[in-house]
Amino acid sequence: SYPDGFETVLEDKGIRDVEWCIITHHHDDHLMGYDWLREKYGTRLATHECMVDVLERPQGYSLNCLHDRPYKVDMVMREGVPMRWRGFDIVPHFFPSQTEYHAVYFCEVDEQMVLFSGDALYWEADHETIRPTDPDWRNWFDVDGGYLVGAKLLRKYQPRLLAAAHVHPWPITQAACNGFEAHATDFH
């Protein structure tokens, strides 16, 4: 149950403080715990520049799953400019996918590139492929090629771990990263 379940996870992992909440997209299921984090830990909100207006002025948008209250963004993360945090460089990139206002974050952890994809991508272990998620079709979509934007990023960064939302992290292969463009093209 929320927030007890969240507190249990933090306690089990030995986490005593949550400095930043970095948002991949505006959907309410990705924001609903932020108020609690801010109240309990003083957590600050960071996000890619593509989402700042959506988060701060939600009343100006007609988007599915949009939280109805504004959120103040404490740190605007600029496209491709790393956010330095405790020795890690977290690199934000625009990634229109499930929704137009979506970003992903790359970060090297223990000499392994990790992709934090939010709801943009999932791993299909049976096929050894990275799968696009279904976009929210009510949203304006594909203004910049949608998943084809992400295909270039996968080739560039060659992540070896996919940390997607709603599932546990998956190891991913170079072949899957390089083959994603064909899947993205078929998806469009």
Per-residue pLDDT of the chain (188 residues; tens, 9 = 90+): 466 777 888 889 898 899 999 999 999 888 988 999 999 999 999 999 999 999 999 999 988 888 889 999 999 999 999 999 999 999 999 998 888 899 999 999 999 999 999 999 988 777 788 888 766 554 445 545 678 888 999 999 999 999 998 888 999 999 999 999 887 777 66
- What is the number of other CB atoms lying within 10 angstroms of the CB of residue 45? 19
The token pair at 53 is 């207006």
Tokens representing residue 45 in the block: 């909100």
CA 142 → CA 60, 119, 123, distances in Å? 20, 16, 22
Q: Order of strands across the sheet with 44-48?
A: 20-23, 44-48, 75-77
Count of other CB atoms within 10 angstroms of residue 125? 10
- The C-alpha R_g of the chain, in whole angstroms, comes to 16
How far is residue 12 from each of residues 15, 31, 59, measured CA to CA in Å? 8, 22, 38
Q: Which of 8, 109, 92, 97 is nearest to 46 (CA)?
A: 92
Q: How many Å apart are CA 172 and CA 178, to the nearest integer?
A: 11
pTM over 0.85? The answer is yes
Cα–Cα distance for residue pair 122/125, rounded to 1 Å: 9
